[in-house]
């Protein structure tokens, strides 16, 4: 054993070294082989050092190595060893989020670490999944996973996990198609994406047999459709990349099912799984149906409430601080949102639902603090956030109407104005800073030889603009007309102008030295 332990230690150290190359397959294979013995503590001890290193290559390759070992290693890895190592993963993730360097590999590692952290939490909550994210034997799946509420909660988390995964690989393939080091993490991510898609299909199929609320299933199906389209795009790009196609067989995506289930199939499913519909849901179902059919106010309340929930979900995803803990306002607002989503699916108590929607709306100011504004500007999402704030502002009148209250609205509007001012101030501070690219543009002035910018032949300048994916933000709310706060328009215009100027500078810099990764795509 003394001879074997150093071998896995050396393999881990070499796999996670500081060379700008992918971890060598032979070192990964050594670690995987030793995962079936009792040598894994040595692996985690060595990984602890590299994952918390200040060298970004150490950190990035540590996450890649861990990811590959979890996928192909012993099933015993998903358990006590991983649980005890999770604090190190989380600490490394937080450490990465606190860095503001624009280095491309750092930006990639930030997103990658966030996905790995969520993946480990998923394993802690659902032990029967293998390290490759599949269910080994569906026959042995715990019966609770065939129930309505467990299906919904599991499906929601898996879809969230898929969303975080899809952030990483496609931009890397587009922008670093020949960088083997950066491309290496896309291989296990693509394999994960295929397995997660299959699991989503499984739970959606179960849910089709038991979910009585058609709007809930439609919402989930539309979300699945977007995931499917993103995967088709990702797998197609992966097949066209030489490095990826040489190192893996890109999976073939299964066709998207329609989930058309007959009443007979539903009856057979419920006979096989008699507890698939919870007793609590059975008890409130008649009341829920009556209210939804007969009470127009409940329908209107749920409609506006769901519109608000969609906006707030996006707002939380962008504005919440990566360092938030259970005592933070960010976490409390997320807990309120989760409870509200559950209530909107089963609106048993109309007065309580009104109160909870309104309290969640007023509680949005928890994410409108100065530190949130700084975070938004740092991750360059100020335009998106301002659009979301405007959506929240637009839905205000509708919420006042359906909730029949305006308690706390003055303080809320004050928080909105302060948040706008925080972002405005932060943007001005950023725009006034001298960047590290000043020398590039000074050199550009010399190249122009004092030529007036107005007389320069910009049309003759050929610049290849990097391809980027546009993510549509749908926050349209059917509301009564309301005068748009001029601050929104001014700040949005200023933000867009700053973004356009920044992109122009990036294009010029890239044209001066196309081989230098000065401006990351993340």
The predicted-structure confidence for 418-456, as pLDDT tens digits, reads as follows 888 888 777 777 666 544 444 444 444 444 444 444 444
Residue 301 and residue 413 in one domain: yes
Work out the angle at residue 28's Cα, subtended by the Cα atoms of residues 22 and 32, and round it to the nearest 5 degrees. Answer: 160
Residue 121 and residue 200 in one domain: no
| Residue 258, domain extent | 144-166+191-284
pLDDT band at residue 291 using 50, 70 and 90 as cut-offs: very low
Query: Is 490 part of any domain?
Result: no
Q: Token pair of 225, please?
A: 């459709």
Residue 248 and residue 149 in one domain: yes
In tens, the pLDDT along 159-213 reads 989 998 999 999 999 999 999 999 999 999 999 999 999 999 999 998 898 877 7
Residue 335 and residue 415 in one domain: yes
How far apart CA 118 and CA 460 sit, in angstroms, is: 48
Residue 150 and residue 267 in one domain: yes
Candidates 345, 369, 505, 493; CA nearest to 440 is 505
Residue 100 and residue 161 in one domain: no
Residue 1 and residue 77 in one domain: yes
Residues 6+ apart with CB under 8 A from 298: 291, 292, 347, 350, 353
DSSP string, 256-316: PP-----HHHHHHHHHHSTTSS-HHHHHHHHHHHHHHHH-HHHHHHHHHHHHHHHHHHHHH
Work out the angle at residue 332's Cα, subtended by the Cα atoms of residues 110 and 153, and round it to the nearest 5 degrees. Answer: 75
Query: Above 60 in pLDDT, residue 458?
Result: no
Candidates 472, 471, 382; CA nearest to 422 is 382
Domains in the chain: how many in total?
Answer: 3
pLDDT band at residue 468 using 50, 70 and 90 as cut-offs: very low
Choosing from 230, 254, 284, the residue where a domain stops is 284
Output phi, psi for 465, to 5 deg.
Answer: -85, 125
Q: Token pair of 448, please?
A: 């122009």
Residue 104 and residue 152 in one domain: no
Q: Name which of 173-187, 256-270, 494-508 the model is least confident about.
A: 494-508
Q: Token pair of 325, please?
A: 């803990």
How far apart CA 392 and CA 475 sit, in angstroms, is: 9
Average pLDDT estimate for 397-417: 81
Q: Token pair of 176, please?
A: 């670093």
The residue that leads in pLDDT, 509 or 147, is: 147
The residue that leads in pLDDT, 458 or 405, is: 405
Residue 367 and residue 312 in one domain: yes
Residue 343 and residue 226 in one domain: no
Contact (CB, 8 A) for 14 and 57: no
Candidates 192, 187, 191, 188; CA nearest to 244 is 187
Choosing from 284, 316, 345, the residue where a domain stops is 284
pLDDT band at residue 503 using 50, 70 and 90 as cut-offs: low
Q: Cα torsion at 105, 107, 109, 113 (round to 10°)?
A: 180
How far apart CA 19 and CA 64 sit, in angstroms, is: 14
The residue that leads in pLDDT, 169 or 363, is: 169
Q: Name which of 13-22, 92-101, 223-232 the model is least confident about.
A: 92-101
Instruction: Give the dihedral sign, CA 141/145/147/151.
Output: negative
């Amino acid at each position: 054993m003394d001879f074997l332990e150093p071998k896995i230690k050396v393999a881990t150290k070499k796999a996670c070294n500081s060379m700008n190359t992918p971890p060598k397959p032979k070192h990964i294979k050594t670690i995987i082989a030793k995962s079936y013995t009792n040598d894994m503590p040595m692996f985690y001890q060595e990984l602890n050092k590299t994952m918390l290193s200040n060298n970004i290559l150490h950190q990035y390759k540590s996450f890649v190595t861990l990811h590959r070992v979890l996928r192909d290693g012993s099933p015993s890895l998903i358990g006590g060893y991983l649980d005890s190592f999770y604090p190190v993963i989380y600490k490394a993730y937080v450490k990465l989020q606190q860095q503001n360097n624009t280095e491309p590999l750092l930006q990639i590692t930030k997103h990658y670490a966030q996905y790995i952290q969520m993946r480990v939490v998923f394993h802690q909550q659902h032990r029967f999944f293998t390290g490759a994210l599949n269910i080994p034997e569906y026959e042995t799946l715990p019966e609770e996973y065939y129930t309505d509420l467990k299906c919904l909660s599991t499906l929601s988390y898996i879809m969230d996990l898929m969303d975080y995964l899809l952030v990483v690989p496609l931009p890397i393939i587009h922008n670093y198609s020949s960088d083997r080091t950066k491309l290496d993490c896309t291989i296990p991510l693509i394999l994960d994406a295929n397995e997660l898609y299959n699991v989503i299909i499984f739970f959606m199929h179960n849910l089709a047999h038991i979910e009585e609320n058609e709007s809930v299933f439609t919402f989930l199906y539309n979300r699945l459709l977007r995931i499917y389209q993103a995967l088709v795009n990702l797998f197609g790009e992966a097949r066209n990349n030489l490095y990826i196609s040489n190192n893996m067989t890109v999976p073939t995506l299964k066709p998207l099912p329609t989930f058309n289930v007959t009443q007979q199939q539903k009856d057979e499913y419920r006979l096989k799984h008699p507890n698939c519909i919870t007793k609590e849901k059975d008890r409130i179902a008649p009341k829920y149906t009556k209210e939804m059919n007969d009470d127009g106010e409940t329908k209107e309340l749920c409609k506006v409430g769901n519109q608000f929930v969609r906006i707030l979900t996006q707002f939380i995803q962008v504005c919440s601080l990566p360092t938030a803990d259970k005592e933070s306002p960010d976490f409390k607002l997320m807990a309120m949102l989760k409870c509200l989503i559950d209530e909107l699916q089963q609106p048993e108590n109309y007065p309580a639902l009104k109160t909870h929607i309104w309290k969640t709306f007023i509680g949005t100011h928890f994410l409108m603090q100065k530190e949130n504004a700084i975070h938004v500007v740092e991750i360059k999402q100020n335009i998106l956030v301002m659009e979301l704030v405007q959506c929240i502002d637009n839905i205000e009148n509708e919420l006042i109407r359906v909730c029949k209250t305006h308690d706390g609205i003055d303080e809320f509007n004050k928080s909105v104005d302060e948040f706008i001012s925080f972002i405005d101030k932060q943007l001005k501070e950023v725009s006034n800073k001298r960047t590290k690219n000043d020398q590039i543009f000074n050199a550009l002035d010399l190249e122009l030889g004092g030529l007036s910018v107005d007389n320069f032949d910009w049309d003759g300048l050929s610049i290849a603009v990097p391809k980027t994916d546009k993510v549509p933000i749908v926050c349209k709310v059917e509301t009564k007309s309301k005068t748009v706060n001029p601050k929104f328009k001014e700040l949005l215009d200023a933000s867009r102008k700053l973004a356009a100027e920044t992109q122009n500078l990036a294009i010029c810099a890239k044209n001066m030295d196309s081989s230098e990764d000065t401006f990351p795509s993340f």
